[in-house]
Amino acid sequence: MSFLKTLEHRAKDMVFGFCHLFFRKGRRVPVPLDGDRMNKVLFLRPEKIGDMVISLPVFDALRFRYPHMKISVLASPRNYVLVKNDPRFDKIFLYRKWTLEDFRQLGAIRREKFDCVFDMIDDDSVTTLFYSQLAGSQAVRIGIGKRRHAIFYDCNHVHADGVGGHIVDNTLKLLDPFGIREKDTSGFASPHLTNTAQRRVDEYLREQPRESCFLVGLNLSAGKPNRIWPDDRAIELCRHLTAWRRDLRMIVIVMPKDRERGERVAAEAGDNTRIIPDRLNLIEVSALISRLRLLISPDTSLIHIARSFQVPVVGLYSRASKNFQRWRPYRQSDGTVVGSDVDTICDITVEQVFLQIQEVLSRIERGTI
């Protein structure tokens, strides 16, 4: 953990140590909660893109049960792009790490007089604890995975082993107090695709050769260096796959900062490998992913976006078992390649990835994925 991050955590702990004396403890509320008597609910999700993606099934399940509810969300600058044009939400608030604007946003939240506040962070979080407390005294507070902070929530689900199952299923347990069980929901909910995003993807795909009908995406970008697969192996995999199936076209997916790297990989991989259009936003990338037959990617939010559209995935993971077990491709029995290294995916071979691709494609053809 960086020095600044450590300092931030210690500062929050000090503030928590003082302010928790004034926080309202959790109340005993009758369950199941009566959602018919609630009009406005707020979800706290000021985290990364992937965290927002895996939360979409919760929003959809609650809206399906209670169509009248107005759902708002506290997002972060990182995941705001995923939800800013999403009609699921009545209002979207932004948390910018305790700036002056955050206090203005908090005032706007308090004026909404929410009936219920969901803290979606699956752990103790000082930030979301403050927001859940300050959102309004009348709101029912629901948390998940809380330990030290559990006493401040009216309802809280704690996993028996401290980790639980897949992160999507864990997060759906937020709805247990309403009598909405994870097993009764689909678990699949995709980002809202704008018409503009879909048109841009249509234009790009019309430029591809008609005989290339089997589109496979290969994501090269990741938020951390240890999740980046070596370029030479990406090039070898593209060549191998396009030689194996003549109808297959590889589409290289990269973040804007990796554009030069992606162009080099696409050029060296051969004629049946192309790169995505320049400067696509996340919703446009999501629209493209929704058209793929398969996505190959290191452990990033794109895996969860692909699975939200039920696009099969081959994911590359390090040996860090907690991350793999909780964040693996959702409801997919195959398609994971786990390296022998605890920290990186650099040791994963082309042969390992290709074998998993063959298994996943075989399941696609049999209709068992």
Q: Which of 294, 257, 47 is nearest to 303 (CA)?
A: 294
Per the DSSP assignment, residues forming a β-bridge with 337 are 316
d(CA 247, CA 206) in angstroms, rounded, equals: 16
Residue 168 CA, distance from chain mean position: 9
- Secondary structure in 3-state letters for the chain: CCHHHHHHHHHHHHHHHHHCCCCCCCCCCCCCCCHHHCCEEEEECCCCHHHHHCCHHHHHHHHHHCCCCEEEEEECCCCHHHHCCCCCEEEEEECCCCCHHHHHHHHHHHHHCCCEEEECCCCCCHHHHHHHHHCCCCCEEEEECCCCCHHHCCEEECCCCCCCCCHHHHHHHHHHHHCCCHHHCCCCCCCCCCHHHHHHHHHHHHCCCCCCCEEEEEECCCCCHHHCCCHHHHHHHHHHHHHHCCCEEEEEECCHHHHHHHHHHHHHHCCCEEECCCCCCHHHHHHHHCCCCEEEEECCHHHHHHHHCCCCEEEEECCCHHHHHHHCCCCCCCCEEECCCCCCCCCCCHHHHHHHHHHHHHHHHHCCC
Give me the CATH code for the 195-366 domain, please: 3.40.50.2000
> If we measure between CA atoms, which residue out of 26, 339, 1 comes closest to residue 158?
26
pLDDT at residue 322, rounded to an integer:
61
For the chain, give every domain's residue range. 3-184, 195-366
Structure tokens at 47: 């985290």
Instruction: Write out the chain's pLDDT in tens, 369 residues.
Output: 566 566 656 666 666 666 666 788 999 999 999 999 999 999 999 999 999 999 999 999 999 999 999 999 999 999 999 999 999 999 999 999 878 888 899 999 999 999 999 999 988 898 899 999 988 888 999 999 999 899 999 999 987 555 568 999 999 999 999 999 988 899 999 999 999 999 999 999 988 776 557 999 999 999 899 999 999 999 999 999 999 998 999 999 999 999 999 999 999 999 999 999 999 999 999 999 999 999 999 999 999 999 999 999 999 999 875 667 888 999 998 899 999 888 899 999 999 999 999 999 888 888 777
CA pair distance 276, 89, nearest whole angstrom? 29
Tokens of 351: 């042969």
How many other C-beta atoms lie within 10 A of the C-beta of residue 64?
12
Q: Can you give the pLDDT at residue 323?
A: 66
**What dotted CATH number matches 3-184?**
3.40.50.2000
Domains 3-184 and 195-366 alike in fold: yes
| Alpha-carbon gap, residue 88 to 160, rounded angstroms | 32
Is the model's pTM score more than 0.75?
A: yes
Query: Would you mind telling me the total number of residues written for the chain in this entry?
Result: 369
pLDDT of residue 189: 98
Give the CA dihedral 91, 187, 168, 311, nearest 10 degrees. Answer: -100
**Beta partners for residue 297, in sequence order:** 315
pLDDT at residue 99, as a whole number:
80
Please report the pLDDT score of residue 17 as a whole number. 65
Question: Which residue's entry shows tokens 């995709």?
Answer: 190
